[in-house]
Amino acid sequence: MEGLKKLEYRGYDSFGVATLGSGIEVAKNQGRISEYAGAAIKLHGKIGIGHTRWATHGVPNDTNAHPHLDCANKIAIVHNGIIENFAELRRDLISRGHIFRSDTDTEVVVHIIEENMAKSGDLLSAVQDTLPLLKGSYALLVIVCGETRLIAARSGSPLVIGIGDGENFAASDMTPVLEHTERAMFLEDGDVAVLTPEKVEIFQNQQPVSRPVELIDWSLEDVKKGGFPHYMLKEIYEQPQAFFNTVRAITHDTLPKIIQHPKSVTIVACGSSYHTGLIFKYLLEESLGIPSRVEFASEFKYFPPPVQGLVIGITQSGETADTLTALKQAKIHNCRTLAITNVLGSSVCRIADTTLFMRAGPEISVAATKSFIAQLAVLMQIVNAGSQGKYDNILSHAHQAIEDVLLMDLAKPVALCKNAKSIFYIGRGPFYPVSLEGALKMKEISYIHAEGYAAGELKHGPFALLSPETPVIAICMPGETYGVMVSNIKELKARGAPVIAIGSANDRELTEIVDIFVPLPEMKPFVQILTSLVVLQLIAYYTAVALGRDVDKPRNLAKSVTVE
């Protein structure tokens, strides 16, 4: 249960555990582990499997929660991913007399294993015979009565084996395992692992294979709240360190060849990572003149643009199904591929030709913060390297500027935002994606409707929505677009919308025309992007707290979305 709590960020609409006690013992429940009102779960045995769910097939309820059992209640499984051909398999199994209890795609797997067990009598071969029938993605754990083996299998969904002393573990990532061991093996697609307390054996195509044992340098402290009320605030405060560590790790020497002087770049990503991609595009084109495009990974597979050159997949988790699929598609088009991720051993590392790691450490809160800043550190270092180190000094000190904004008093913007019906965020150039990210943070954790817009676009429609209940947050920095931004702000004011502006601390003009002014201490290339982002994260965070939201686990979301 302690381990599952650490994985709750992957899904938290229900949870369940099964152990090998006197027979298979199961407990499962709708809702979050932290909110579980029942008595402590008392199951027996020393071997068990557990799961937290993010519903795909079947509503979140006790029955659809994993583990799922076969007809005879002798086999239990948990599953991440999706079995795409489950409807057909289910029909066949029902016609052969199997009784289904849930609406999940997962349940077909345990019934097929049941049939195969009846044929071979051996758990390992029953699982191995089952896997070729499954289309889709899975990380599976299986236990069966009368056995001391736990079987783990992966294809397209992450699975890590933790190597302990007289105990072994299998989990979606290392966070629940760190308490017990730092030694890990990352399974490859097609691997089937057999775990006992004493040993781990791995098979690929029924043949034994070995996978390297890696040491994970994330500390246990990193996955605890450390006195902060929420992981999100802790992670926001860890951003100076995350930026600093990443800038130092990505040097001119460690930059892979494929990213040096590409003719063109296509970025594929989702969610916040898509926004870092957009910021990168602005920086890359402006500083290096390299034509760049940014595509939603979810669109790229089905409507691939005529791509050539380098395709970069940005994904903090390294597991987002859409981004993995897009990178595979890029390879079909003979493009070279680079992944940028935070998670060593994640699926994206196996797909991309080359991987660059950011150094954010584990991020638990669903809303991306320090991983976002660390992604920017990687991308800014790429631009810096292409500019012959022109920004070396700025990047090696930028973490201090981030530190300076952490303690800013944001009570006024928060008081305005928390009563808003809707909030618009506007900016120009790289501050346009900054505004997209600010709005995304606000909507996902506060549940207030928020939209980011390129500042010039607001007049083409959204103006109709302006009112005293729709504040606009304008990111208005000195430079070429300053004058036109000020005009945009005046247009907003003339239509009754309260304006919060984020700008340079020396800006007298803005202070006079806007309702609330948030002064940023330092105006340097790159730094303004980072500090304005952090201010927007903090405004979203404090607004969500003021509204009593569940900041770390907002409703309906998951941190790592491993389905398309």
Instruction: Name the one range near ligand G6P by CB under 6 A: 161-169, 177-185, 265-273, 527-535.
Output: 265-273
- Taking alpha carbons only, the member of 272, 452, 530 closest to residue 538 is 530
Q: Which is nearer to ligand G6P, 113 or 232 (CB)?
A: 232
- Taking alpha carbons only, the member of 464, 441, 461 closest to residue 453 is 461
E strands, 59-118, in order: 68-69, 75-83
Q: Minimum distance between the CB of residue 465 and ligand G6P, rounded to whole angstroms?
A: 26
Is residue 522 within 8 Å of 394, Cβ to Cβ? no
- Taking alpha carbons only, the member of 278, 277, 281 closest to residue 289 is 281
Q: Minimum distance between the CB of residue 252 and ligand G6P, rounded to whole angstroms?
A: 26
From candidates 80, 172, 266, 273, binder to ligand G6P by CB under 6 A: 273
Q: Can the peptide bond before residue 67 be classed as cis, meaning omega within 30 degrees of 0?
A: yes
Distance CA 51, CA 184 (A): 20
Q: Which is nearer to ligand G6P, 80 or 323 (CB)?
A: 323
Establish if 26 lies at the interface with ligand G6P (CB under 6 A).
no
Distance CA 383, CA 280 (A): 8
Q: Which is nearer to ligand G6P, 531 or 560 (CB)?
A: 560
Establish if 537 lies at the interface with ligand G6P (CB under 6 A).
no
Q: Minimum distance between the CB of residue 300 and ligand G6P, rounded to whole angstroms?
A: 13
User: Which amino acid appears at position 295 of this protein?
Assistant: E
Instruction: Name the one range near ligand G6P by CB under 6 A: 134-142, 160-168, 266-274, 489-497.
Output: 266-274
Q: Which is nearer to ligand G6P, 283 or 348 (CB)?
A: 348
- Taking alpha carbons only, the member of 406, 431, 394, 427 closest to residue 499 is 427
Establish if 320 lies at the interface with ligand G6P (CB under 6 A).
yes
Handedness of CA 344, 348, 351, 357 (dihedral sign): negative
What would the two tokens of residue 553 be?
A: 């686990």
From candidates 80, 106, 317, 325, binder to ligand G6P by CB under 6 A: 317
Distance CA 491, CA 184 (A): 57
Instruction: Name the one range near ligand G6P by CB under 6 A: 271-279, 351-359, 458-466, 498-506.
Output: 271-279
What would the two tokens of residue 554 be?
A: 């907002």
| Residue with the shortest CB distance to ligand G6P | 271
From candidates 117, 265, 270, 417, binder to ligand G6P by CB under 6 A: 270
Instruction: Name the one range near ligand G6P by CB under 6 A: 82-90, 354-362, 500-508, 555-563.
Output: 555-563
Instruction: Name the one range near ligand G6P by CB under 6 A: 77-85, 316-324, 427-435, 517-525.
Output: 316-324
Establish if 323 lies at the interface with ligand G6P (CB under 6 A).
yes
- Taking alpha carbons only, the member of 127, 139, 197, 138 closest to residue 169 is 197
Q: Which is nearer to ligand G6P, 445 or 455 (CB)?
A: 445
Count H helices, E strands: the chain? Answer: 17, 24
Distance CA 455, CA 237 (A): 29
530: left (phi over 0), alpha (psi -120 to 50) or beta: alpha
Give me the DSSP letters along 231-294. Answer: HHHHHHHTHHHHHHHHHHHS-TTTS-GGGSS-S-EEEEE-HHHHHHHHHHHHHHHHHH---EEE
Q: Minimum distance between the CB of residue 347 and ligand G6P, rounded to whole angstroms?
A: 11
Compose the 335-374 pattern: x for residues touching ligand G6P by CB under 6 A, - for all others.
Answer: -------------------------------x-x------
Cα–Cα distance list, 364 to 9, 136, 230, 244, 354 (Å):
6, 27, 10, 20, 26
* 83 DSSP β-pair partners: 136
From candidates 64, 157, 272, 298, binder to ligand G6P by CB under 6 A: 272
Distance CA 150, CA 309 (A): 44
- DSSP-derived 3-state class of residue 364: coil
Q: Which is nearer to ligand G6P, 317 or 532 (CB)?
A: 317
With CB under 6 A, what is the number of residues at the site for ligand G6P?
A: 15
Q: Which is nearer to ligand G6P, 113 or 445 (CB)?
A: 445
Establish if 384 lies at the interface with ligand G6P (CB under 6 A).
no
End-to-end CA distance of the chain: 28
Q: Minimum distance between the CB of residue 441 and ligand G6P, rounded to whole angstroms?
A: 9
Establish if 559 lies at the interface with ligand G6P (CB under 6 A).
yes
Q: Which is nearer to ligand G6P, 448 or 499 (CB)?
A: 448
Q: Minimum distance between the CB of residue 352 and ligand G6P, rounded to whole angstroms?
A: 13
Write out the binding residues for ligand G6P, residues 105-164 only, by CB under 6 A: none
Q: Minimum distance between the CB of residue 271 and ligand G6P, rounded to whole angstroms?
A: 3
Distance CA 241, CA 374 (A): 9
From candidates 176, 271, 427, 471, binder to ligand G6P by CB under 6 A: 271
Q: Minimum distance between the CB of residue 348 and ligand G6P, rounded to whole angstroms?
A: 8
Residue 260's CB: how many other CB atoms inside 10 A?
A: 11
Name residue, tokens 């025309």: 513
* 213 DSSP β-pair partners: none
From candidates 316, 337, 369, 528, binder to ligand G6P by CB under 6 A: 316
* 502 DSSP β-pair partners: 475, 518
Q: Which is nearer to ligand G6P, 366 or 485 (CB)?
A: 366
- DSSP-derived 3-state class of residue 370: helix
Establish if 470 lies at the interface with ligand G6P (CB under 6 A).
no
Q: Which is nearer to ligand G6P, 368 or 395 (CB)?
A: 368
φ, ψ of residue 276 to 5 degrees: the values are: -65, -35
Q: Minimum distance between the CB of residue 216 and ligand G6P, rounded to whole angstroms?
A: 18
Q: Minimum distance between the CB of residue 481 and ligand G6P, rounded to whole angstroms?
A: 27
40: which DSSP letter? P
Instruction: Name the one range near ligand G6P by CB under 6 A: 267-275, 352-360, 453-461, 516-524.
Output: 267-275
- DSSP-derived 3-state class of residue 104: coil
Name residue, tokens 């606009």: 472
From candidates 315, 369, 384, 543, binder to ligand G6P by CB under 6 A: 315
Residues forming contacts to ligand G6P in the complex (CB under 6 A) are 270-273, 315-317, 320, 323, 366, 368, 557, 559-561
